[in-house]
Amino acid sequence: MAGHSHWAQIKHKKAKADAQKGKLFSKLAKEIMIAARLGGPNPDHNPRLRQAIERAKKAKMPSEKIEYAIKKGAGLIEGETIEEVVYEGYGPAGVAIMVVAQTDNKNRTVAEIRNIFNKHGGKLGTSGSVAFLFERKGVIEVPASEIDEETILEKAIEAGAEDVQPGEEVHIIYTSPEELYQVKEELEKLGVPVEKAELSYIPTTTVRVENPDEAQKLLKLLSALEDHDDVSQVISNFEIPEEVMEKIS
């Protein structure tokens, strides 16, 4: 799980400020629509929707936008249907990349994602080309500034987590897919400040990137994918040694 945790630390450190709020609201709205479409519009009976609404409120997304997204996702308002799509590909140094997108136009999105891969030295693959290198897990992020390593290890175990990766920016807690929201709620009962909880793909093996040029190209590719309006998650199986990170920082 080191590869996933590594990218999470980098993303958190490079998080965009309030200037990106419009793009953030768009991504949050799509997640709310997907959650409402798959599990219904009642957050009391739909943990994914409940989590999506919580994230939107933390980002100070207006309540009317949240309500609109719920209704649209549940089919109560006419419009294009948002679908969740997973793309697979390779980046510089042969690292595997999974991209989760939420789109109302799959043809447009796949063309744009392919273009990003090509532009940054990667290649979009076919379905199944890298999925076998990942496993489905629940992932919970906790800001490291608000809870120390010893405490998060203790409370994560108590809440029923499978694994914990403490970090400088965020602590990453892993669960089985089925127990994600249960563990999240147990953590919150224990006073743990959960920043994000979502289903994701976790690499089962990692690729060590030791060439600084390749490492820099890879991080630019991952950042460009993250910045795409339709992309909700980017997961990769890379690991960059600290001394290489220092050269490209």
Contact 127, 121 (CB under 8 A): no
Reading phi first (left if > 0) and then psi (alpha if -120 to 50, else beta), residue 104 is in: alpha
**Residue 18: per-residue pLDDT:** 43
Q: According to DSSP H, which parts of the chain are helical?
A: 2-13, 21-39, 47-58, 63-73, 106-119, 149-159, 180-189, 212-227, 242-248
Q: Cβ contacts of residue 235 below 8 Å, gap of 6+?
A: 4, 7, 97, 98, 99, 100, 134, 200, 201, 202, 203
Q: What is the mean pLDDT of residues 156-175?
A: 94
Q: In angstroms, rounded to a whole number, what is the distance separating the alpha carbons of residues 169 and 188?
A: 19
Q: Flag whether pLDDT at 19 surpasses 70.
A: no
Tell me the percentage of the chain whose pLDDT exceeds 70. Answer: 91
Q: Flag whether pLDDT at 23 surpasses 90.
A: no
Bridge partner residues of 101 (DSSP): 85, 231
**In angstroms, what CA-CA distances link 220 with 65, 145, 192, 224, 225?**
32, 26, 33, 6, 9
Residue boundaries of the structural domains of the chain: 133-203
**Residue 169: per-residue pLDDT:** 87
Q: In angstroms, rounded to a whole number, what is the distance separating the alpha carbons of residues 91 and 97?
A: 7
Q: Which residue has the higher pLDDT, 16 or 202?
A: 202
Contact 55, 28 (CB under 8 A): yes
Q: What CATH number has the domain spanning 133-203?
A: 3.30.70.980
| Strand, coil or helix: 41 | coil
| Nearest CA-CA partner of 51 in 62, 39, 43 | 43
Q: Flag whether pLDDT at 20 surpasses 90.
A: no
**Residue 11: per-residue pLDDT:** 65
Contact 155, 120 (CB under 8 A): no
Q: How confident is the model at residue 118 (pLDDT cuts 50, 70, 90)?
A: very high
Q: Which residue has the higher pLDDT, 50 or 6?
A: 50
| Nearest CA-CA partner of 84 in 195, 172, 200, 162 | 200
As a whole number, the mean pLDDT across the chain is 91
**Residue 78: per-residue pLDDT:** 87
Q: What is the mean pLDDT of residues 99-103?
A: 97
Lowest mean pLDDT among 5-9, 38-42, 147-151: 5-9
Tell me the percentage of the chain whose pLDDT exceeds 90. Answer: 82
Q: What is the pTM of this model?
A: 0.88
- Nearest-Å Rg of the Cα atoms of the chain is 18
Q: Exposed (0-12), middle (13-18) or buried (19+): which is 162, by Cβ within 10 Å? A: middle
**Residue 12: per-residue pLDDT:** 61
- Between the CA atoms of 195, 180, 80 and 221, what dihedral angle is there, to the nearest 10 degrees? 60
